[in-house]
Amino acid sequence: MLAVAGTLAAVLWIGAGCAAFLNGFHLSGSITAAPNLPLKTPKPNSVLLIVASNNGGVPVAVRQIINPDLPLKYSLNEDDLVLPGHAGDGPLTVSVTLTPHGTVGLVQPGDIRGRHRGTARAGDRHVDIVLDESQ
């Protein structure tokens, strides 16, 4: 009887750990540049900004990569949430901006943007993005 109780406790403990892992925010994919863009090697201090926004356009998760080397694989996780622990469960729009000047938020000539075609949800993989809009 004691062995059964111990086994049951272990199963419940492992199950709780898996549930916590499955409920954590995670989103991943790749970022590439369209072949027709005149993308040069990013200058020092260039910034790649990855933003996952909800249906209202409000950023839910943000990651900044300094001096990115394209193509690259990315992932957003709990550490990237704007409000820790609050990813929501709705669809997300994932967009990317590469700024060779390093100033985030100020659109300037030379910036390149792209977005995932469609929506994503927390836990999705293969949320791939092509940088294909030059400013």
CATH number for the domain spanning 128: value is 2.60.40.2580
Q: Looking at the domain assignment, is residue 37 inside a domain?
A: yes
Q: Looking at the domain assignment, is residue 15 inside a domain?
A: no
Q: Looking at the domain assignment, is residue 2 inside a domain?
A: no
- State whether residue 34 is helix, strand or coil: coil
Q: What's the pLDDT at 79?
A: 96
Q: Looking at the domain assignment, is residue 4 inside a domain?
A: no
User: Residue 38 is part of which domain span?
Assistant: 27-134
Segment 40-91, tens digit of pLDDT: 656 788 999 999 999 999 999 999 999 999 999 999 999 999 999 888 788 9
Number of domains in the chain: 1
Q: What's the pLDDT at 120?
A: 97
- What share of the chain in percent tops pLDDT 70? 79
Whether the pLDDT of residue 7 is over 90: the answer is no
Kindly write down the DSSP assignment for every residue of 70-129, as one continuous string. SSEEEEEEGGGBSSTT---SS-BEEEEEEETT--TT---TT-EEEE-SS-B-TT-----E
Q: Looking at the domain assignment, is residue 18 inside a domain?
A: no
Q: Looking at the domain assignment, is residue 21 inside a domain?
A: no
Q: Looking at the domain assignment, is residue 68 inside a domain?
A: yes
Q: What's the pLDDT at 104?
A: 80
Q: Which residue in 109, 120, 35, 105 sits closest to 74, CA to CA?
A: 120
Q: In this structure, how many other beta carbons lie within 10 angstroms of the beta carbon of residue 38?
A: 8
pTM of the model: 0.79
